[in-house]
Amino acid sequence: MSSSSALVLCMDVGFSMSNSEPGQEPPFEQAKKVIQKFVQRQVFAENKDEVGLVLFGTDGTKNRLAKDGQYENITVHRHLMMPDFELLEEIESELQPGGQQADWLDALVVCMDLLQQETMGKKFERLNIVLLTDLNVQTSADQLDVIINSLKKAGITLQFFLPFPLDGEDRADGGGDGPGPSAASARPGKGLSSQQTQGLEMVKNIMTSLEEEDGLEEVHTFRDALEKLSIFKRIDRRPMAWPCQLTIGSSLTIRIVGYKAVTEEKVKKSWTIVDAQSHQRDDVKRETVYCLNDDDETEVQKDDTIQGFRYGSDIVPFSKVDEDQMKYKSDGKCFSVLGFTKQELIRRHQFMGSQVVKVFAARDDEHAAVALSALIRALDSLKMAAIVRYAYDRRSNPQVGAAFPCIKEKYECLLYVQLPFMEDLRQFTFPMLENNKKFTPSESQLSAADALIDSMMLVEKDEDGESVDVFKVNHIPNPQFQRLFQCLHHRGVNPDDPLPPVEPWLKRALERPQAVSARCQAPLQDVKTKFPLKVVVKKKEQKTSADVFGSSADEPDAKRVKVDEEMEFNLAEIAAGNITSVGSVNPVRDFCALVRQKTVSFDQACQQLTHRIEQLLGNRSPEYYMKSIACIQAFRDQSVSSGNAELFNSYMQSLKRSVPDRNLQEFWDLLIQDALTLISKDEVDGSTISKQDANQFLAFEQKEEVQAAPVQEDTGDVDDLLDMM
Amino acid sequence: MAEWRQYYQNEDDEVEEDEEDSGGDYKISGRDSLVFLVDASKEMFIKSEDGETSNFDMTMQCVRSVYTSKIISSDKDLVALVFYGTEQSKNPRNSFKHVYVYHDLDSPGSQRVLDIDKLLGEKGAQFAEKTIGSGETSLGEALWCCSNLYSDIKLRLSHKRLMIFTCRDDPHGGDGAKDRQARTKAADLKETGVVIDLMHLTKPGGFDVSLFFCDIVSPPEDESELGLQIEPCRKLEDLQKRVRAKELKKRSQSRLTFSLGEGVNLAVGVYVLARTATKPSAVKLHRDTNEPVRTKTRYFHAHNGGILLPNDMKRAQVYGKKQIVMEKDEVDEIKKFDDPGLVLMGFKPMDRLKLHHHIRPALFIYPEEEQISGSSCVFTALLLKCSEKNVFALCRYIPRRNTPPRFVALVPQREELDQSQTQATPPGFNVIFLPFADDIRTLDAHVGPTASDEQVDKMKEIVHKLRFKYKSDSFENPVLQQHYRNLEALALNMLEPEPIEDLTMPKVQMMDARLGPLAQEFKDLVYPPDYNPEGKPAAKPESGGGAAEKKPKAEISEEELKNHVANSTLGKLTVPVLKDACKQFGIRTTGTKKQELIDALTMQLSK
């Protein structure tokens, strides 16, 4: 039941691969990077595919077929297995240029042999060979037909990666879903040796006999490979099929199969928490406790809790059992047409959900194919779409969505996208922009905007008058993955090094194309002069925490006074000596008492206080912030008067570090408003903090409002099933 | 073309007018509050010429729908209902005559909805007459009473709104003193930040705002609004739309810099106009008291039991036998590419925006003049030009700190008004998220025969018969509706929840009736007589799949497992096999995620 692929990387390390024009990276290095990137991704994305590595042009020979001077200088460096960290390390340290040349066709035969020998008895969905070479060697073409035939027979697919593009000129993009080769990097055609020219012909020959004209799309340049994940597309796991029936009314049924075609790919592996010293996961225990909302935080056993839901101001107890029994029940998977509507009534910006499903007729069912084709073509010519009820299965929530017709050169399908429910929409009204005297742009301003747009078009006409998209987002690999894998790789190899900077090619891929940047210089300057733009300097209202939470915590001033009174009142208690630790009810009072009493050391008192502060902050609720602020104020005051700045300052510094982590930004803002900063030299001699540092300490990078990612209901989707496999 | 409801609803089906908005997920900086100040004079109870509803009834239906929507979407908001021009008086200190506070400012609950129900319809009118009655009018007193409601609230209010519902444009009948008092009190309210809106209803002879109310209501947000709502509401639908547009305070998700390059920056607010509304999460309650409980999570050291502070912990991932450790800061740093904001890459013709390039619901941006002045002007110029040239702007988008970038298409959207001059689509750019190469999956397309013209034409007839006018707010989410009906039933001690109408279900009977013989004719054209599309496909044994899978669980020997550990190929085993293996070795696993099982096994077997 394996759905993985087996793939052999076959790299030319012969001496010609090390040749390069001055200032250019030799093909060897480029090819090595391609392999590195590929293996890196396989390792960190934990793909189940098995990978072998064959080098040719090596000084030595190590392969099963070598005999009587045949298949020399070809080394099977690694047999088929799942790539691991070791392989990454080996590539980094052991993959060196060789001093020989070997026939790439021979190497191909060795790879085929390897694949056939080592996949015997195992089941693989796809077999693929990736050849990286400069073709700069004499090849004997007499075996070509035999080779092509056995490739076909074994169902092995082939990809070529060359330092130069296949054709003399750039080829327009196929325009399909997958990334194809586009703008060439190296200079084509020129300076190729006769072997290379001959080699190119053979490559074309092989690829077209394997897959007709599509085959040529699997010939890439090294540079393309780096930036476009070309290798992966070949061995990509295909999405899970979702067989269902499209129904129109009660009697018209068409057998269909859906596939998730576009969906946001997320990082799969999460970080675990380990102890900072031992790096052991088991040393860290996580505990979740339930407690009442009272001052003592009375703990409640989990078994003593039940679940409820808010219904306006009421909380309605509603047990899980009842909920399950009473909840909406859907009657299983469906793809039922509710009606048909004009495509223009479905707004692109109202697409919901996180995926697009492509719907085909059931495989090998030609009647279904004809029926679905009739629907697709009818919709297409009427510019209409079907509105359908879609339910993935019995456990999942039903959706209403649109099925659009999609007719491509090679196939037809429906594209299904979820549409909003009434509850999902927000009707906001915005002030009008046009015809608003204050904002109406003048004629000259409009023409500046016009010129800017013209200069920044990302679609250009090439020599043949074909428009070429110079910035295809769907060809850019998600930089998040690239960056994560790069850092994991780096840290794995060099555990003590700081993280490396973002790789230059990745940075470049995220920037505006250079040609466009150059073109828009002047129009942009024009916009700059014609539109006055000014950052509004806000008078930052001096708000104190009391102002912010004042209204919710009764009269602020009264409360302040009360605290003070209590502190005074406390002095009497101190005399009685009945305060022995910092309690949670009135930590400030207790702390001040302890410090005065000197029954415990100042250090200990502070420790107890910070423990309480941490507890209060753990609630992350505004009511407790006031109390925490009061604690910190008292901590600071007492520290200044005892001339001990160190404890306070180090606590504040650690608190600051934890702010982003614990989401305490709001609390920190209150500290800023109250100017509760570090104790400086000016206040306590022993402090190592200058007045200026203290003033700057509170400043944080401005953080934007964070909106929690919407919690997705578990709809039991294809991916879950895949993860189970 | 018929509309969805009309098309499928039976004539006698009552059109359900539940109104919902999902809006309560923003960071709360205070409570929103809304006071309905409703005229209870005799005129309000007069039925309209065409029959059914009186202005009073219409207002109550509207109030009810706001109540129920608040319960669902923003249950923290405060709402009050006050009548003026009443016979009876009821207010906190009973200091105001002819003012009846039906509901104090509080968050709406189930009881309040029931209270409103009492005021609906014919019976409601009678009930109203009995309890509140119609009497003298003093709007000044009523406004004064409302201002007391606000000042009695101890919570921080972020947005204060008061809506006056009336059909009388001269409530005091020319009594200058009362007019003056009302103006003064209105001014006082506005001073304290209350926005006063007028929801004026139809009156024979027309409602003249300039007679009196123009001095009472707050000035409009911008000039544009002034012209829009001069017409009084005739229909419930209009009234609800108008109330809804005002009732929900719009908040931006974030404010960002939109950089065109070379230091040309404008400020925009990012808004969420559509997002999947989900069931709210459950609250944990104490079994004995039904009092909510909080959860606290903390980390402590397994051996010495000490509480671990964030600095005492690091993050790690394990690949095979290799553990890679990073600081929390580093994990964040990896995700940082640039500061938050929108950066313009360039423009593309609209046809380059593919229908199937969809990964997330869209956002909406609108200029923020308060951050960078002049933003609106540049924004408007770009909006006009993009729309004129039929292009979209391609931008790099980083929503907040330490978040990796995404590319988005800014699609221009010009303002559109509906027949009643209410804004149907706001002016601004829709933000469409574009997929990266990783997000696009490789498919092996099914290739099959295509349909003939005759077959396509028959299908066209079918499509024609079943067409309707799609509107995005036609469908309610049956799962949510059912959930709230259940809660309502429990909260109000009803025997069973009110049944919901599942609008997502195809109206099969009606469709069949509309199609008539067409379905059969189409089937005759495409399917051979013996073909049954509903049956299972002719047994084509899936290679290696099927029955073989359901074999008794494949036990796996220790040796095999060790091999897998050594080659780090545990990942190839299925979750059930891994679970069994864990059981076999008596490994207690905390999680059921595949990786957790693998980690546990690896740890056990590499000892």
Q: What is the pLDDT of residues B356-409, one digit of tens each?
A: 999 999 999 999 988 898 999 999 999 999 999 999 999 999 998 889 999 999
Whether the CA torsion B244, B245, B250, B256 is positive or negative: it is positive
Mean pLDDT, rounded, for B306-322: 83
Chain A residues whose CB is inside 8 A of the B255 CB are 704
Residue B319 has pLDDT above 70, yes or no: yes
Subunit contact B533:A279, Cβ cutoff 8 A: no
CA distance B435 to A477: 9
pLDDT digits (tens, 9 = 90+) for A86-130: 888 888 888 888 888 888 889 999 999 999 888 888 888 888 999
CB A299 within 8 Å of CB A291: yes
Mean pLDDT of A175-201: 57
Whether A717 has a pLDDT exceeding 70, the answer reads no
B594 is annotated as an active-site residue: no
Cα Rg of chain A (Å, integer): 34
Predicted local distance difference test score (pLDDT) of residue A198? 85
Residue B441 gets the label, from left (phi > 0), alpha (psi -120 to 50) or beta, of beta
Tokens of B163: 């809506």
CB contact under 8 A, B377 and A285: no
Chain B residue with minimum CA distance to A527: B264
- From chain A, the residues in CB contact with B372 under 8 A are 533-536
A373 CB within 8 Å of a chain B CB: yes
Which of A619-623, A668-672, B319-323, B384-388 has the least mean pLDDT? Answer: A619-623
Question: Per-residue pLDDT for A239 more than 80?
Answer: yes
At A394 the pLDDT is: 87
Is the predicted pLDDT of residue A565 greater than 90, yes or no? Answer: no
Q: Is B149:B35 a contact under the CB 8 Å cutoff?
A: yes
Structural tokens at position B198: 């007028």
pLDDT-based confidence at residue B258 (cuts at 50, 70, 90)? very high
Mark yes or no for CB contact B441/A704 under 8 Å: no
d(CA A147, CA A31): 24
Give the CA distances from residue A495 to residues A487, A573, B327, B599, in Å, rounded to whole numbers and listed in that order: 11, 56, 12, 21
Phi-psi region of A231 (alpha: psi -120 to 50; beta: other; left: phi over 0): alpha
Q: What is the pLDDT of residue B293?
A: 86
Q: How does residue B285 score in pLDDT terms, banded at 50, 70 and 90?
A: confident
Q: Find the mean pLDDT for residues B573-589.
A: 74
pLDDT at A526: 93
The reply to whether residue B294 touches residue A291, judged by beta carbons under 8 angstroms, is yes
Output the CA torsion B350→B351→B356→B358 (10° steps): -10
pLDDT in the model for residue B363 = 95
pLDDT value at residue A606: 87
Alpha-carbon distance of A45 to B242, in angstroms, equals 52
- Please tell me the predicted confidence (pLDDT) of residue A703: 39
CA distance A474 to A458: 14
What is the mean pLDDT of the segment spanning B288-312?
82
Enumerate the residues of chain A whose CB falls inside 8 A of the CB of residue B442. 178, 233, 236, 238
Pick from A20, A39, A161, A29: nearest CA to A95: A29
Over residues A220-240, the mean pLDDT reads: 71
Q: What is the pLDDT of residues A266-310, one digit of tens each?
A: 887 888 888 888 888 888 888 888 888 777 778 888 888 888 888
Scored b (16 or more CB within 10 A) or e, A645-681 reads: bebbbebbeebbebbbeeebeebbbbbbbbebbbbbe
| pLDDT > 70? residue A234 | no
Residue of A nearest to B423 (CA): A429
* For residue A709, pLDDT beyond 50: no
Q: CB–CB of A227/A509 below 8 Å?
A: yes
Residue A85 pLDDT > 60: yes
Q: CB B436 to CB A419 under 8 A?
A: no
Longest dimension (CA), chain B: 99
In which region does residue A202 sit, left (phi positive, over 0), alpha (psi from -120 to 50) or beta (all else)? alpha
Classify residue A712 by its DSSP letter. P
Q: What is the pLDDT of residue B259?
A: 94
Please indicate whether, in this complex, the C-beta atoms of B298 and A46 are within 8 angstroms of each other: no
A612/A375: higher pLDDT: A375
Higher-scoring residue by pLDDT: A592, A524: A524
Structure-token match 């039940």, residue found? A306
Which among B301, B319, B346 has CB closest to A516? B346
User: How far is Cα A332 from Cα B453, in angstroms, rounded to an integer?
Assistant: 34
CA–CA min distance A576, chain B (Å)? 33
- pLDDT level of residue A453 (50, 70, 90 thresholds): very high
Sign of the C-alpha dihedral computed for residues A277, A283, A288 and A291 taken in this order = negative
Report residue B138 as tokens: 């003093």
Using the beta-carbon criterion (under 8 Å), do B439 and A43 form an inter-chain contact?
no
pLDDT value of residue B198: 85
Write the pLDDT tens digit of every residue in B409-467. Answer: 999 999 988 776 778 889 999 999 999 988 988 888 888 899 999 999 999 999 999 99
Question: Is the confidence at residue A572, as pLDDT, over 70?
Answer: no
- R_g of chain B computed on alpha carbons: 32
Q: Which of B27, B322, B551, B607 is catalytic?
A: B27
Contact between A279 and A378 (Cβ < 8 Å): no
Tell me if B442 and A236 make a contact (CB, 8 A cut-off): yes
Kindly provide the residue ranges of all beta strands, DSSP E only, lying in B504-574, ordered along the sequence.
none
**Which amino acid appears at position B217 of this protein?**
V
Lowest model confidence (mean pLDDT) among A68-77, A660-669, B52-61: A660-669
- CB-count exposure of residue A331 (10 Å: 0-12, 13-18, 19+): exposed
- What token pair was written down for B88? 């009876």
Higher-pLDDT residue of A229 and B532 is B532
With 90 as the cut, is the pLDDT of residue A360 above it? yes
B283·A308 Cβ contact <8 A: yes
Angstrom distances, CA of residue B49 to CA of A49, A55, B232 = 76, 91, 16
Residue A558, chain B, CB below 8 Å: the answer is no
Task: Pick from A35-44, A383-392, B26-35 the range whose average pLDDT is largest.
Answer: A383-392
Q: Which residues have a Cβ under 8 Å from the Cβ of A71 and sit 6 or more positions away?
A: A61, A63, A65, A106, A109, A110
Residue A102 distance to chain B (closest CA, Å): 32
Query: What tokens appear for B73 in the block?
Result: 């979407």
If you count them, how many residues does chain B have?
607
Rounded Cα–Cα distance for residues A370 and A372 (Å) = 6
* Minimal CA separation from B296 to chain A, in Å: 5
Give the residue from A544, A636, A546, A643 showing the smallest Cα distance to A592.
Answer: A636
The per-residue pLDDT for B25 is 34
User: Using one digit for the tens of pLDDT, what is the confidence trace for B231-255?
Assistant: 666 667 777 777 766 666 667 788 8
Gap between the Cα atoms of A577 and A600, Å rounded: 12
Query: Who contacts A708 (Cβ-Cβ below 8 Å, separation ≥6)?
Result: B25
Ordered DSSP codes for A312-360: TTEEEE--HHHHHHHS----S-EEEEEEEEEGGGS-GGG-EEEEEEEEE
Q: Are A386 and A342 in contact (CB under 8 A)?
A: no
User: What is the distance between the alpha carbons of residues A181 and A164, in angstroms, rounded to a whole number?
Assistant: 12
Calculate the alpha carbon distances from A159 to A28, A220, A239, B150 in Å: 17, 8, 22, 73
On chain B, the residues whose CB falls within 8 A of the CB of A713 are: 278-279
Q: State ipTM.
A: 0.76
The proportion of chain A whose per-residue pLDDT surpasses 70, expressed as a percent, equals: 84
Residues 315-344 of A with CB under 8 A from B: 315-318, 323, 326-328, 336-342
Q: Per the CB < 8 Å rule, is B415 touching A286?
A: no
Compute φ and ψ for A59, nearest 5 degrees.
-70, -40
Question: In the structure, what pLDDT confidence band is assigned to residue A228 with cuts at 50, 70 and 90?
Answer: low
CA distance A184 to A201: 18
Q: Helix or strand or coil: residue A210?
A: helix
Which residues of chain A have a CB within 8 Å of the CB of B484? 311
Q: For B182-204, what is the mean pLDDT?
A: 86
Better-scored residue on pLDDT, A442 or A209:
A442
Instruction: Indicate whether A546 pLDDT > 50.
Output: no
Task: Indicate the average pLDDT of chain A.
Answer: 80
* pLDDT for residue A551: 36
Residue among A250, A254, A185 at smallest CA distance from A220: A185
Nearest CA in chain A to B569: A82
pTM score: 0.73
Average pLDDT over residues B271-300: 84
- Extract the runs of DSSP E, i.e. beta strands, from A2-112: 5-12, 50-56, 74-81
For residue B486, give the nearest of A275, A326, A374 by CB distance. Answer: A326
pLDDT for the residue numbered B404: 94
Give every CB contact of residue A369 below 8 A, 6+ residues apart in sequence.
A361, B446, B448, B449, B450
Give yes or no for residue B4 having a pLDDT over 60. no
Over residues A317-347, the pLDDT tens digits come to: 888 888 888 888 888 899 999 999 999 999 9
Q: What confidence tens digit (pLDDT) does each residue in B129-175 have? A: 888 888 888 888 899 999 888 888 777 777 888 999 988 888 888 88
